[in-house]
Amino acid sequence: MNVVVVGAGYVGLVTAACLAESGNQVVCVDHDQARVALLLAGGVPIYEPGLEDMVQRNLQAGRLTFTQSIREAMAHADVVFIAVGTPPKEDGSADLQHVLTVARQIGQHLQAFAVVVNKSTVPVGTAAAVRSEIHAQLAIRGERGLDVAVVSNPEFLKEGAAIDDFMRPDRIVIGVPDSAEGERARHLLTRLYMPFNRHHDRTVWMDVVSAELTKYAANAMLATRISFMNEMALLADGLGADIDSVRRGIGADQRIGHSFLYAGTGYGGSCFPKDTRALVHAAAARGATMCVVEAVEKVNTAQKQALVTTVRRVFGDKLAGRRFAIWGLAFKPNTDDMREAPSRTVIGALVQMGAQVVAFDPVAQHTAHAALADDLGPAVFAPGGAVQLADNAMDALDGVDALLLLTEWKCFQNPDFLGMGGRMRRKVVFDGRNVYDPAVMQELGFAYVGIGRRNESGRALLNKELAHWVTGDAHHHLTAQARNEAIAQMVAI
């Protein structure tokens, strides 16, 4: 089948590569010249495990190519995917300008019947808007015999596991119009998705509007679970309960399940924040209030400040002369995506309070550099500026007052704790992803604060019972043995 995918980002590139891998002839279009040049040279502009190999393999096999020209690409298109960005506008609504531009171009260059698939996350009613835009262009061209079927096929892939999600999806949601064109679309898409449905049919067919809403409902539900657990963690902190025990206790209930129940520093990324806001906005435009989703968003905004609050409780508001290590910058592991990453909020707040920050991420160094320069001004990276990127995780720890773990990359999960302690000025760890076991950290002599994790050193640290240890340098001058005894005494409080 001849497939065009417009947009070579996380969704478009994965869609294009996976459809080429299953034998289709795929042209991927992007208006970004540098991106297209890089892709044609076998490079990949984003970090996604397995993607680069797949792109190169299919380029070499002649099944996949890249172009800036949608006109060229449209010459033999059976199916055209729209996978361009839908960023949030100031008011929280989805900005559809890229989607509608592509629709216009499809109308300008359509040669024969094609199925137009909205893969971008778009508000209810967008398929109808895309169809009108295409029809308007066909009318200008005087093309009365040409038509399209516009369907909604929202994407549910997770960055970091995108190839696997596309190749082995939980479900494929497709909304088709109730018309003869809709039937043609159903027929073509059944064929296109057949390789991903061999084990059993995962396609959930529905009407277009329901498919559009399904994507927002899915993201809102997942975001709700995260905010729910973050709110519970706050209460757990207050009550002296351990949120991880609570998580295991409720997750074992099959009606609840274990996924998306981790308390942390809040969700980020290109989807949950913008999609929850867009949902609230879409409801408001129809006079409705999404009470639950609004609360989810509010809890998340507050949660991004959770570790900042912890730092302030321990070190005060004036952080001049303080140095903090950050492990993890991407909004989650296995991606370089910095969109709405909690690290941006945390680093911004620390810098504003006068701190020095030394950060490390195994993959997102480049994207983080661009995002933080954008947020804080490029001068933060100048010599003597407030932010540095370290070459590796251990180097980030030299002389720091505390380590803040913000992304649960595997490489941070079982580090050389003894080596860490030797490099840090103070053995203080604020764990924004609850990666470490509080009891083990205590045994190792770290003062440890997680999110909703009950433990004595964290409690003592927050209650300033260890203020002398955090603010004074006394232990620096002790012998190793005396220092260990002091820490043992500290963690015994």
Ligand X SMILES: NC(=O)c1ccc[n+]([C@@H]2O[C@H](COP(=O)([O-])OP(=O)(O)OC[C@H]3O[C@@H](n4cnc5c(N)ncnc54)[C@H](O)[C@@H]3O)[C@@H](O)[C@H]2O)c1
The residues that are catalytic are 271
30 binds ligand X (CB under 6 A): yes
From 166, 117, 119, select the one nearest 19 (Cα to Cα): 166
Q: What is the DSSP letter of 259?
A: T
User: Do residues 14 and 51 lie in contact, with contact meaning Cβ atoms separated by under 8 Å?
Assistant: yes
Question: Residue with CB nearest ligand X?
Answer: 9
User: Do residues 11 and 83 lie in contact, with contact meaning Cβ atoms separated by under 8 Å?
Assistant: yes
DSSP codes joined into one string, 155-184:
----TTSHHHHHHS-S-EEEE--SSHHHHH
How many Å apart are CA 328 and CA 412, to the nearest integer?
Answer: 9
Total residues contacting ligand X by CB under 6 A comes to: 26
HSE-CB at 249 with a 13 A cutoff on CA atoms is 7
Give the nearer residue to ligand X in terms of CB position, either 7 or 458.
7
336 binds ligand X (CB under 6 A): no
List the interface residues with ligand X, window 82-121 (CB under 6 A): 83-86, 98, 101-102, 120-121
Ramachandran sector of residue 415 (left: φ over 0; alpha: ψ -120 to 50; beta: rest): beta
Q: How far is the CB of 74 from ligand X (least distance, A)?
A: 12
Distances (CA, A) of 392 to 251, 359, 365, 460: 35, 9, 10, 31
Q: How far is the CB of 275 from ligand X (least distance, A)?
A: 7
Question: Among the candidate windows 26-34, 231-239, 240-248, 285-293, which touches ligand X by CB under 6 A?
Answer: 26-34
Instruction: Select from 3, 4, 5, 6 the one that contacts ligand X (CB under 6 A).
Output: 6
Q: How far is the CB of 83 from ligand X (least distance, A)?
A: 5
328 binds ligand X (CB under 6 A): no
Tokens of 461: 């640290």
List the interface residues with ligand X, window 127-156 (CB under 6 A): 155
One symbol per residue from 263 to 282: x for binding ligand X (CB under 6 A), - otherwise; what is it? -------xx-----------
Rounding to the nearest 10 degrees, give the CA dihedral for residues 478, 483, 486, 488: -170
341 binds ligand X (CB under 6 A): no
Instruction: Select from 3, 4, 5, 11 the one that contacts ligand X (CB under 6 A).
Output: 11
10 binds ligand X (CB under 6 A): yes
Give the nearer residue to ligand X in terms of CB position, either 121 or 356.
121
Instruction: Select from 32, 78, 201, 398 the one that contacts ligand X (CB under 6 A).
Output: 32
How many Å apart are CA 172 and CA 204, to the nearest integer?
Answer: 6
Residues that bind ligand X (CB under 6 A): 6-12, 29-32, 35, 83-86, 98, 101-102, 120-121, 155, 157, 159, 270-271
